[in-house]
Amino acid sequence: MRRQRGLIRLIGLAALVGVAFVARPAVAAVTTEQSASILIFPKVIADGARDTIIQITNTSNSMRHAHCFYVNGAPTIPGQPPGGFICKGGALNGLSCNPRVAGICGDNAVCEQVNPPLCTEIDFDIWLTKQQPTHWVVSTGRLYPSFENTCRVGNCDTTSGPAGGHPCCDAGLDPGRVPPVVPGFTGELKCIEVDAGGAPLPGNSLKGEATLEEIATGDVSKYNAIGLKGLNPNNMDNVLCLGHGGGANCPGGPEYEGCPATWILDHNAVGADDLVVREGSSVGANLTVVPCTENFELQSTPAVTLQFSITNEFEQTFSASTTLTCWASLNLETINPIFQAKNLQGSVVQTRMRAAASTPVGVTAVIEETHTVGAVTARSAQNGHTTLVTPSQEPADIITIPAEQLNSNP
């Protein structure tokens, strides 16, 4: 009996040692080509000129649920671009400021962004049977079960062909009611895998893609959703800890892989000739960035200052920076003129992007190039790279979901 007890203790000890071995350092392991528990679509557009098709698939052999958020990053004053941060009130009224420096604007004044993004969120639930793919158009949503006559027929007649089909754009098992976005939407979509009761689950079963389409020309660009893998243990509460653990909000350590501290983006210098067309052509680049830390309960997102290190093909390095809140889609030349070919004296560059030390918030990003010749344009989107061994952003990024949203059955 005593021997058996000793044996059990030894096995228990060994199990603990084993667990200690598997406790992985918080390295950044965002992925754009493996199934994950959190999917981030940084660039979702439905502004009348462009629309977006979302595809999400359950890659597991069990039914999976997801709780999704649209975050509207459209500027507060439509039609005008978001501006920089300036002091409002006080002696420094109208002067630019850094929102992360407390009291920078003096007494009775605040540091605020000019025409900031709305940062409003709407959420909804989807559920997918085993291996089920689904899709929807962002401007229309997916409102009706396909077996009813009310499904959106539109121009999606799939009945032609020898085997017939289903005369419905939204044919398929109903994934749930996906709402349309508001007109003029420019923002992000984030989907978090949850269990049937709505609690976050590290199932790593979701993958996704976004197709951005210009309605007038049919021009398309496509990128893979950025995935954050879920880890064990996960206390399944409404505070999701990404990467580095610790602190009052994450006593149990990381629940998801962290966002990377550094992104690597290759792109053409703005205004460089398109290599295929050459004369009369140019290439532009647009960078869309969303912070990994988001508080959907308070609808607040911390400002993050991004530092860019830009290396051209002549081994020359330049730098730039910008500040954003919940969402930003920036043409690179608006961040800093150094991104222009005439200033870089090169045509292709490697840009490294990280959060400034004073604003330690991880970000995710996607870059979209615009190739232009005369009145003709073509876009292509690319996922960024992360370094192989870069640690994740420290401290942990945190996504806070309103608790009551987790209690409703999806």
Sites for another protein among residues 310-339 (CB under 8 A): 311-315, 317
**Footprint of another protein on 121-160 (CB under 8 A):** 129-135, 137, 139-140, 154-160
**304: Cβ–Cβ under 8 A, 6 or more apart, which residues?**
291, 323, 324, 325, 355, 356, 359, 361, 363
**Footprint of another protein on 366-385 (CB under 8 A):** 369, 371-385
Q: Which residue has the tokens 């197709």?
A: 211
**376: Cβ–Cβ under 8 A, 6 or more apart, which residues?**
none
**Footprint of another protein on 232-261 (CB under 8 A):** none
Instruction: Please report how close the Cβ of residue 32 comes to another protein at its closest, in angstroms.
Output: 5
Q: Which is closer to another protein, CB of 110 or CB of 373?
A: 373
Q: What share of the chain is helix, strand, coil (3-state, %, to 5)?
A: 10, 45, 50
Interface with another protein includes 161 (CB under 8 A)? yes
**Footprint of another protein on 88-127 (CB under 8 A):** none
| Side chain identity at residue 121, one-letter code | E
Which residue stretch of 50-58, 72-80, 94-102, 329-337 sits at the interface with another protein (rule: CB under 8 A)?
50-58
Interface with another protein includes 343 (CB under 8 A)? no
Backbone angles phi, psi at 365, to 5 degrees: -150, 155
Instruction: Please report how close the Cβ of residue 168 comes to another protein at its closest, in angstroms.
Output: 9
Number of residues that bind another protein (CB under 8 A): 104
Q: Output the CA–CA distances (angstroms, integers) from residue 35 to 227, 229, 328, in the order listed.
A: 7, 7, 26
Q: Which residue has the tokens 């409404």?
A: 238
Query: ∠ CA(268), CA(269), CA(275), 5° rounding?
Result: 50
**Footprint of another protein on 252-311 (CB under 8 A):** 264, 266, 268, 274-277, 311
Q: Which is closer to another protein, CB of 334 or CB of 390?
A: 390
Interface with another protein includes 53 (CB under 8 A)? yes
Interface with another protein includes 193 (CB under 8 A)? no
SS3 405: helix
Backbone angles phi, psi at 407, to 5 degrees: -95, -15
Instruction: Please report how close the Cβ of residue 116 comes to another protein at its closest, in angstroms.
Output: 29
